[in-house]
Structure 1
Amino acid sequence: MNIEQMQYIAEVARTGSLTRAAENCHITVTGVSRAITLFEKELGTRLFIRSRAGTTTTPEGEKIIAKITTILNQIEELKREASSYQELNNSRLRIASIPGPISLLIESMSDMKREFPGSRFEITENNTQAVLESVHHGASDIGLVLLPEQTVPQYDHLRFEPLAQDRLILVCHQDSALADQSMVILSELVDTPLVLYNDPNILNLVSELAPASDILFKSNNVDALLRAVRANLAVTIGTLHSLQAYGTSFRKEMVSIPLQLPNRGESYLWSVRSADYPISRSSDLFIRRFKQILNTRPT
């Protein structure tokens, strides 16, 4: 009893013909007939009634062939799973992200590496526009950005999936004069020094809503920004997930305050991929696991 025998039997049952089954299985009619005979002899049960008009199953054969079909389906499922594992274990995934989610991305990457040791990852941190361009031009497979919902349709060449609702916040030291406020209006920060991540979206927002702001410096180094905040020299603008990369004791010194941003609607952390190519299994699995981590962690 072997898989080939079961495949021949299932094909004979499906077509009702030894000849057509032999053609479909790329074997001789004699080979199909011999396989069925050996199988029937081993089980001690007749599966088919053969005649010039064709081949029909016996009542006992119908029950056995139903089980054979189930076994063959399970074997195909095992093959697909093994193929999927091999593909994932040999995958290379390139991810571009704004700073906020980086720590959770690394956690997702570690989980994937434990399950698929052969998988490889490249994570690049950059500003929003650079992330979108990287995905659009094929330099990255996945991008992670924070955008208001109404701006997403502007990018027809990209596919966006919302991962979690997010928003821009003001981050200040616990001893800052702003620390007790429940909401901050950006235009009211004229006399408060700002340190800003060098992202066109953030810079344009500040330029639009608070053009007279006192900007101490701009940087792509998140650690430098938060060190300035930690020293109570300035405040910065981040997202709800911005502080997750730092330890609990470090975050205790920080206070996050929602920014009141008129006419911007709800903002989300989005995964981004190219509209020109189907999503790979590794990209799909990574995003699903990252989304799960993202939505189970307090901000």
Structure 2
Amino acid sequence: MEIRQMRYFMEVAKREHVTEAADALHVAQSSVSRQLFNLESELGVDLFIREGRRVKLTPIGKIFLDRVTQAMNMIGEAEREVKEYLDPEKGTVRIAFPISLAAHVLPTAIYAFRKRYPEAKFQMRQALYRDLIDGVINGEFNLAMIAPVPEEEKKIKRKILFTERIVALLPIHHPFANRSAIQLLELKDDPFITLPEGTVFRKIALQACNELGFEPNIAFEGDDIDALKGLVAAGLGVALMPEVTLVDNFPRSTVKIPLVDPSVFRSIGVICPTQRKLLPTEQLFYNFLLEFYAQINDFSK
């Protein structure tokens, strides 16, 4: 089994079309077909169901694709590790993140890191909460910033960088708009605006309400944080928001009010695999994150 065969196999599996895969690989279609035939002959199984030049993975083909993807990720990491071993300050950090950390938290950390290591490079990927955890476990990436930090995941190492307040975002003409703080229970009769079902932050918001004995009236859902801001700005309801998402993008026709009795928080941190070592530049960035936020936390106190 050759690396070339695995790369051809992965491209065909991705595109489900031999000719399109060959075009993407910049090789002849006959070369791709021949390598797939050799691979299937060597393994003794059919990896694809063929419908002309269109193909679909067989059940064993899907299992093989998962294993090959993991193997190719490890080979790619090995190649990068050799290069970065010589000069980790010029290597690449592959990191994933949720949308709520995209506007301020991650860019701030990267900016500070590149001031110290200006030749370091980044490959960034936005993902949903569960995909962040699974991506670290299966080797799609080695680092992910995440909020909240997961508590029970055996195959990842977690580190809380800081905790942030959850605040209420209200339309500017709301009766509580001039208050310096409000109790969450005071909003029980307001229409709520939330992220879609299944998102982690929605669970945090609903749990905070449920612990006070009320089920919020969810009037609208937005696909992302910016959508929630827009709906609140239009006067359609109130929303609970991570305070960090309002640092650089704050709609004029809204006000943010701290929550008290109880205050609501979420943890923000970084996760990495327990079963793989970080690459040299990734380790450099990981150590920097711990130092950077430790300094900020000390200053805040």
What aligned pairs does 1:274-285 form with structure 2 within 5 A after superposition? 274-285=273-284
Give the Cα–Cα distance (whole angstroms) in 2 for the partners of residues 288 and 104 of structure 1: 16
What is the deviation of 1:159?
Answer: 1.0
CA contact (8 A) 2:166 2:259 kept: yes
SS of corresponding position for 1:203: helix
Once the two structures are overlaid, the 10-residue window that deviates more, 253-262 or 159-168, is: 253-262
Give the C-alpha shift of residue 102 in structure 1: 3.6
Assess if the C-alpha contact under 8 Å between 1:167 and 1:268 holds in 2.
no
Match of 2:134 in 1: 133
Quote the offset at 1:172 in angstroms.
Answer: 2.1
Structure-2 change in CA distance of 1:226 and 1:108 (3 Å): same
- Quote the offset at 1:289 in angstroms: 4.1
Secondary structure of the equivalent of 2:285? helix
Which ranges of structure 2 fall in alignment gaps of 5 or more residues?
1-82
Q: For 2:89 and 2:127, how far apart are their aligned partners in 1?
A: 24
Deviations 1:257-276 (A, max 9, x none): 226559x8x74212111111
Partner letter of residue 161 of structure 1?
A: K
Distance 1:158 1:191 in 2: 41
2:154 pairs with one of 146, 150, 156: 156
Larger Rg: 1
Q: In the aligned structure 1, how far is the partner of 2:228 from the partner of 2:184?
A: 20
What are the superposed Cα offsets for residues 247-294 of structure 1, whole Å, 9 maximum, x if unpaired? 6xx4794313226559x8x74212111111123332333344445269
- Residues 170 and 259 of structure 1 are in contact (CA less than 8 Å); yes or no, is this contact kept in structure 2? no
Instruction: Give the Å deviation of 1:196.
Output: 1.4
User: In structure 1, what is the equivalent of residue 174 of structure 2?
Assistant: 176
Following superposition, the deviation at residue 160 of structure 1 comes to 1.0
Q: TM-score, normalised by structure 1?
A: 0.56
* Matched residue, 1:231: 234
Code of the residue aligned with 1:130 in structure 2: it is D
* Alignment RMSD (CA, Å): 3.5
- In the other structure, the counterpart of 2:245 is 242
Q: Tell me how many residue pairs correspond in the alignment.
A: 208
Residues in 2 aligned to 1:226 and 1:238: alpha-carbon distance in whole angstroms: 9
Percent identity reads 12
Encode CA deviations 1:223-259: one digit per residue, 9 max, x unaligned.
Answer: 1111122233222222231212426xx4794313226
Q: Which letter does structure 1 place at the counterpart of 2:201?
A: I
The alignment partner of 1:117 has SS state of coil
Q: 1:284 to 1:256 in 2, by over 3 A?
A: farther
TM-score by length of structure 2 reads 0.56
- Quote the Cα distance in structure 1 between the aligned partners of 2:296 and 2:253: 22
Distance 1:88 1:139 in 2: 22
Q: Offset at 1:84?
A: 5.7
Q: Cα 1:268–1:206, aligned 2, differ >3 Å: closer, same or farther?
A: closer
> Residues 163-206 of structure 1, C-alpha deviation per residue, up to 9 Å, x if partnerless?
112233222234322331624225x5332122212353333345
Alignment partners' CA distance in 2, 1:174 and 1:285: 44
Question: Which residue number in structure 2 is paired with residue 99 of structure 1?
Answer: 100
| Contact 2:184–2:262 under 8 Å retained in 1 | yes
1:77-92, aligned counterparts within 5 Å? 86-92=87-93
Deviation at 1:213, TM superposition (A): 2.0
Task: Determine the structure 1 residue equivalent to 2:258.
Answer: 257
